[in-house]
A and B are shown apart, each in its own frame.
Chain A
């Protein structure tokens, strides 16, 4: 085992941090983290990440990468996360669909999409969920009928978060319409130009102010070569891509800003003539956050290391995702308790502590245990896929 970073990797981290000090602003970080819509500043930042040699290092040379260790991407994502929970601005492409295209796509598809993903130029929206297919994705109804040289797609998706600013829709649709065939062996995955005729996108606004979308397809024509991998295998590719999502979005580093803010707050705030940091209960809560983050970090490192070294994974991404999401909920609850009455004050309000960020995190903290697979479904997966327990 080796938990260290090489000298070159540490140099990379240093250079990256110098760059981030200059280039990354809270606004850019929040455009992505809060799904407000990646604007021109964040796209510009994304291109600069590539131009300055921070994007794409582990990727194959033939698509514009440098074929270095995957650790470079871990460092990139961790260092971004420590700053306002930032991420690679076009993270769906870079951390979810890109890996799946690399593993499953045709050579033409890789040549077409990977260089642009690596250069930080294009983004995807994930098109899995439908009104009647949430946890049970195999029940999706969106229909893709095979025609001469295209598929004709009709139906509705919901909660497709990046669609309003993404360039492409990473769409799962039913290609086997025979109801007697197994449901999960009748789904295929497509890359659809998000601006194709026949697509309508309608906003849905979440309780923490993020935007997600409903996406309607009305006779949308998608060329056949935009099918990812083989026909009717899309369900399995989708599961792989969701594992990548668990490994690359549920990044413990993104929670450090909460802990760091809270540490400064308790060291600077008095109650009854005593600093909050002197209260043993508060000390214990903050210490537990750090203990949990240390454990989450090594779990996350293990899971993404397995994925990017193409080693078998059964339950590792689920474990990381569950630990990180439930940790976020506990952590935010503890932070709210420490802030007391002031915890309820929103960003922009008079008297709001820590610029109201904890209040926002509280609202947000209901999502991590739902998105990318609910905690309940995650535990089913660990029990069945990981531990081999029988299905009911």
Chain B
């Protein structure tokens, strides 16, 4: 047992903190919320030069060859400043999916480009019929026709599809809409005829899209993994995505706590620092408890995923606890900042809007409670 970060991880954190704080002040984040693209090529290039896009890609494919646990450290720092852009889509949902499911020629072709920052990826999973997060409910169809497939249907909440070069699309090649068998992953050129992408307006101002596939033709070479065997890959990626999202939340939560404590040490009312009031102290203590739990369960789940140890229970605990904890952190943060924190140009809303988006991404606490109930044999497996 060892709770220390490695020296490399400490250095990574330090350099990431410097870069993120320098390049992504709040003004930039808010600007990107209004921007059509939601990122700037300069920032993207800068991140690629630091090796971030290739962090978890093995050296043989042009990456840095670091671990998922190292990525957790980096994502925490990104979450701390709400760094905008398609990093999560490209690296976590794109890169890791290709690593997990891609064949050798797909890996050779795409991974070096990801590592270089040459391409942006997006992952299309959710659909209009699943109002609750339900990753296996897939009705978008892919029909085999000689050596190609025709994809038809609508995907929702597809992050960064507006700027993506490729979209990884989960489509049904067989079976009932809710069945885990019969799902296939396709690597689709985002410029293919028949793809129509439009931006949704979201609470976090992030770039989630509706993507309509209207008889989009994909060659069979662009199947990722096995035909009908996509769920096997999706399940693994969603575990990593959930914990990666927790890391962003931990970073954001840490910043919110620091800001609130700082403010409590400056703001005077009734002739006293508000930080001397016990009600305010207890708000801060409750934030610290929520954060500490989020941190360590995220590190534990992240480490287990990194080491390839089975950890469905820890992933569920991490995403359930952290989603709730981040909401608690922002609620208490707002309470301490009171009126000032309610203003649009204050930092607090930037975090509280993202707390909601992060809760919803890859399953909220209700979803993971259901998963746990299945894991302990109370509910039948869906």
- Chain A residues proximal to chain B, CB less than 8 Å: 1-5, 69, 71, 74, 263, 266-267, 277-278, 280, 282-284, 286-288, 290-292, 294-296, 298-299, 301-302, 305-306, 315-316, 319, 322-323, 376, 378-380, 382-384, 386-392
B313 at the interface (CB under 8 A from A): yes
Q: A294-B313, A382-B289 are in contact. Are A389 and B370 (CB under 8 A)?
A: no
* New A-B contacts (20) at CB < 8 Å, excluding given A3-B303, A283-B370, A379-B281: A3-B304, A5-B1, A71-B1, A267-B377, A277-B378, A286-B372, A286-B376, A287-B316, A290-B372, A291-B316, A291-B365, A294-B314, A298-B296, A301-B3, A316-B292, A323-B293, A379-B282, A389-B264, A391-B276, A392-B276
| Contact residues of B between 124 and 144, Cβ < 8 Å to A | none
Q: Mark B15-48, 1 if CB is under 8 A from A, else 0.
A: 0000000000000000000000000000000000
> Quick one: given A263-B376, A298-B297, are A392 and B317 in contact (CB under 8 Å)?
no
Question: Which residues of B lie under 8 Å from residue A4 when comparing CB positions?
Answer: 1, 307, 309
A194 to chain B, nearest CB (A): 36
Q: For the complex formed, measure the closest distance between the CB of A307 and the CB atoms of chain B, giving whole angstroms.
A: 12
Check if B105 is an interface residue, CB within 8 A of chain A: no
Contact of A287 among B275, B276, B370 (CB under 8 A): B370
For B373, the chain A residues whose CB sits under 8 A away are 283-284, 286-287
Bound form: Cα–Cα A4–B5 in Å: 15
Partner of B261, one of A1, A5, A316, A388: A388
Chain A residue with the shortest CB-CB distance to B296: A298
Looking across the interface, which residue of chain A has its beta carbon closest to that of B294? Answer: A295
B273 touches A390 (CB 8 A): yes
Question: Which B residues are in CB contact (< 8 Å) with A263?
Answer: 376-378
Which residue of B277, B286, B372, B378 contacts A379 across the interface (Cβ within 8 Å)? Answer: B286
What is the minimal beta-carbon distance from B136 to any residue of chain A, in angstroms? 19
> Across the interface, do B307 and A392 meet the contact criterion of CB distance under 8 Å?
no
List the 10 closest A-B pairs by CB distance, nearest first.
A383-B281, A294-B317, A287-B372, A379-B285, A283-B373, A382-B285, A287-B369, A2-B2, A389-B275, A392-B276
Complex Cα–Cα for A277 and B273 (A): 51
The answer on a CB contact under 8 Å between B285 and A383 is: yes
Q: Does the CB pair B309–A319 fall under 8 Å?
A: no
Residues of B with Cβ closer than 8 Å to A? Answer: 1-5, 69, 257, 261, 264-265, 272-273, 275-278, 280-282, 284-286, 288-289, 292-293, 296-297, 299-300, 303-304, 307, 309, 313-314, 316-317, 320-321, 365-366, 368-373, 376-379
Give the CA-CA distance A10 to B299 in the complex, in Å: 22
- Distance from A389 Cβ to chain B, minimum over Cβ atoms (Å): 4
Please determine whether A389 and B284 come into contact, CB atoms closer than 8 angstroms: yes
A20 to chain B, nearest CB (A): 21
A69 to B281, CA, bound (A): 36
- Residue of A277, A282, A305, A379 near B3 (CB, 8 A) is A305
B158 CB, nearest partner CB in chain A, Å: 29
Sample (20) of A-B pairs whose CB atoms are under 8 Å apart: A3-B299, A4-B1, A69-B1, A277-B379, A282-B378, A287-B371, A288-B320, A291-B321, A294-B313, A295-B293, A302-B3, A306-B3, A379-B286, A382-B284, A382-B285, A383-B281, A387-B284, A389-B261, A389-B265, A390-B265
Nearest CB in chain A: distance from B22 CB, A: 26
Distance between Cα atoms of A296 and B284 in the complex (Å): 19
Q: Which residues of B contact A386 (CB under 8 A)?
A: 285, 288
B317 CB, nearest partner CB in chain A, Å: 4
**Nearest Cβ on chain B to A209's Cβ, whole angstroms:** 31
CB B239 to nearest CB in A, in angstroms, measures 15
- B319 → A minimal CB distance (Å): 9
From B257, which residue of chain A is reached at the shortest CB distance? Answer: A387
Residue of B nearest to A260 (CB): B376
Cβ of B364 to closest chain A Cβ, rounded Å: 12
Question: Complex Cα distance A5/B309, Å?
Answer: 12
Measured in the bound complex, the distance between the Cα atoms of B158 and A209 in whole Å is: 58
Across the interface, do B5 and A1 meet the contact criterion of CB distance under 8 Å? yes
Contact of A299 among B284, B296, B304 (CB under 8 A): B296
Cβ-defined contact, A302 with B284, below 8 A: no
* A380 to B278 Cα, complex, angstroms: 7
Residues of A within 8 A of B264 (CB): 389
| CB pair A383 B284 closer than 8 Å | yes
Residues of chain A within 8 A (CB-CB) of B288 are 315, 319, 382-383, 386-387
